[in-house]
Amino acid sequence: MKKSKYRKPDNNVRVAVVEDHTVVKQALVLMLKKEPQVVVAFHAENGEEFLAKLPNHDIDVVLLDLDMPVMDGRETLKVLRRDFPEVKAIMLSMHEDPWIVSELIREGARSFLKKNCSFDEMIDALFNVKFKGSHTTEVVEQALFSEHEFRIKNEESVIRLKLTARNQLILKLICDGKTSEQIASKMNLSKKSIDAIRSDLLKRIGAKNPIELVRKSILLGLYKARTDAQIEEEENLEILEKSERKRSRLNDSSNEEEE
């Protein structure tokens, strides 16, 4: 494999390692310290410890484990993007689910490495991320391709089935496992209306029951499965956005009254 063109004698990278498995962390830190152009600023066992130490250190890149107790890699990445945008993150994991990888890239990760990658590739990733801004791996390429394919299938299916934006949202909520009552409350519609739309979606998609509806929606690119935590996070974000919009309207109204 051709080495990164940024691995030059006058280029250095300051790194933090965040890994909850002590043996893995110690081995990784030891190997990195043997690289003359890599400076290990500090290490941590989880995202919370890392973020607590970060203000006291100047680093370029963090090698961030995805699955950790207390505060995992995804939550840590969000805080980094918001509060420390100058620090670039490379995610580490044994998993390579393309949907998870593509989401992490969208959320600000500059690369994604499997933990069984070669040490040489990890060093290349550190230099590419610091000096180029990103590092592409086979896992990242596959994830981005899958995301692109999903979007194309989604657009084609929406056009072919003539689904409105409202019906797309209702389909997503059905596939998320929401009841007609829950969807009706969220959409400010009656349960009767939701049941009618549910029946129409079954016919349009050619599904005989709710389970087949979910399966065919995934195959058609109309629905991307998420974890319970991801769904809950989306819902909390929606609540926050609604609260912010309401607060903004109240402020605008108050300002108009003062004028």
CATH number at residue 131: 3.40.50.2300
The C-alpha atoms of residue 147 and residue 224 are separated, in whole angstroms, by 10
In this structure, the answer to whether residues 180 and 98 fall within a common structural domain is: no
What range defines the domain where residue 206 resides?
A: 162-241
Which of residues 143, 175, 206 is at a domain's end? 143
Query: Residue type at 235?
Result: E
- What pTM, to 2 d.p., does this model score? 0.62
User: Tell me, what CATH number does 231's domain have?
Assistant: 1.10.10.10
pLDDT score recorded for residue 233: 76
Query: What is the per-residue pLDDT for 3?
Result: 74
What's the pLDDT score for residue 160? 87
CB-CB neighbours of 106 under 10 Å = 11
- Across the chain, which has 259 residues, the per-10-residue mean pLDDT values are 72 93 92 92 95 95 92 92 93 81 86 89 92 84 70 82 91 93 91 94 92 90 82 78 71 60
Structural domains of the chain, count = 2
Contact (Cβ atoms closer than 8 angstroms) between residue 84 and residue 41: no
Q: Are residues 177 and 109 part of one domain?
A: no
What pLDDT score does 19 carry?
A: 94
Residues 130 and 75 in one domain: yes
Domain edge (last residue) among 143, 173, 208: 143
- Write phi, then psi, for 96 (nearest 5 degrees): -140, 35
Q: Is residue 5 part of a domain?
A: no
The C-alpha atoms of residue 74 and residue 69 are separated, in whole angstroms, by 12
For residue 2, the model assigns a pLDDT of 58
Closest by CA position to 78, among listed 94, 63, 70, 89:
89
